[in-house]
Copies of this chain bind each other. A is one copy, B any other.
Amino acid sequence: MPEAGLIVAISGLLPALSPAEQRVARLVVADPADASRRTITDLATAAETSEATVIRFCRSVGLEGYPQLRIRLAAEAARRVEPVDARVVGGDIPPGADFAQIIATIAFNDARAVEETAQQLDPEVCEAVVEALNAASRIEIYGAGASGFVASDFQQKLHRIGRTAYYWPDVHSALTSAALLSRGDVAIGISHTGTTGDVLDVLEVARSRGATTVALTNFPRSPIADVADHMLTTAARETTYRSGATASRLAQLTVVDCLFVGVAARNRAKARKALEVTAEAVRSRRVTRRRG
């Protein structure tokens, strides 16, 4: 877990926490600065739980104890300068909002998801994944629903620089294809929640064939962790209203971009050439003149 992004990390771990710990987590995320000022007893009372649970929460998020939590929270709260109007950003969109407000809110959430994802992304894991992608003779990418678009986007990008990559929208095709993977190949599963059964099944098959499995999810402690050799996490806090797929997509795409650039950077010349060739291929479909 990287140094920065404790709050973000906590949001990601939220579903993996027990109910009482979640109450603590929510208080902490809601107002880190305030939490950092509280004593453990105080915070426990506020979360309607015992001190023991607060300690458990600290351990759950990877810290030694409560004083460490206080200090980290204080540090993060200090770093966090409110960039935009607080009434507009952050939460849900108020019923009477005009369009300028809607735009501001969404842009803020989207941009923050991108930034926070980058902040907590582990460069070493990325490096390892890129390494595996480079060595792979075949790459398979899975994703359902909104994550399917991201999977598809990644597939297309890799293909465009000359890597053999597949994306199967259909589970049956995905399963059969995964069964044909072998050691050295790479299977990437994308699932915001980390609980998408189909994706897990496919990754499991891929892994059983000896392929390196990679998971891209918002929740590092979710079931997908059990079938992945490498975990890449996003940091999107979806509001309830825009549930499922808004900021999360952007966060996922940011990670895809990083991996893609990493892969392309390994063989700069070849990748550039491939991009030029493919760009040339669609040039005839471009319109340069204005129409009447």
Instruction: Report A's interface with B, CB cutoff 8 A.
Output: 36-37, 67, 70-72, 74-79, 81, 83, 93, 95, 97-100, 102-104, 106-107, 110-111, 114-115, 117-119, 121, 123-124, 126-127, 130, 144-146, 149, 152-153, 156-157, 193, 195-198, 200, 204, 223, 225-227, 241-246, 249-250, 253-254, 257-258, 260-262, 264-265, 268, 272, 275, 279, 282, 285-292
Contact = CB atoms under 8 A, between A and B. Distances in A.
Nearest to A33: B75
A250 B144 CA distance: 19
B99 A107 contact: no
Q: Copies of this chain, how many?
A: 2
A265 B93 contact: yes
A257 B251 CA distance: 14
B102 A265 contact: yes
B287 A197 contact: yes
Contact of A79 (B79, B118, B227): B79
Contact of A292 (B81, B104, B226, B264): B226
B99 A123 contact: yes
A223 B111 contact: no
Given A75-B75, A78-B75, A79-B79, A286 B193 contact: yes
A111 B102 contact: no
Contacts of A123: 98-100, 103
Contacts of A119: 107
B114 A107 contact: yes
A254 B93 CA distance: 15
Contact of A291 (B81, B223, B253, B258): B223
A134 to B, nearest CB: 13
Contacts of A287: 195-197, 200, 223
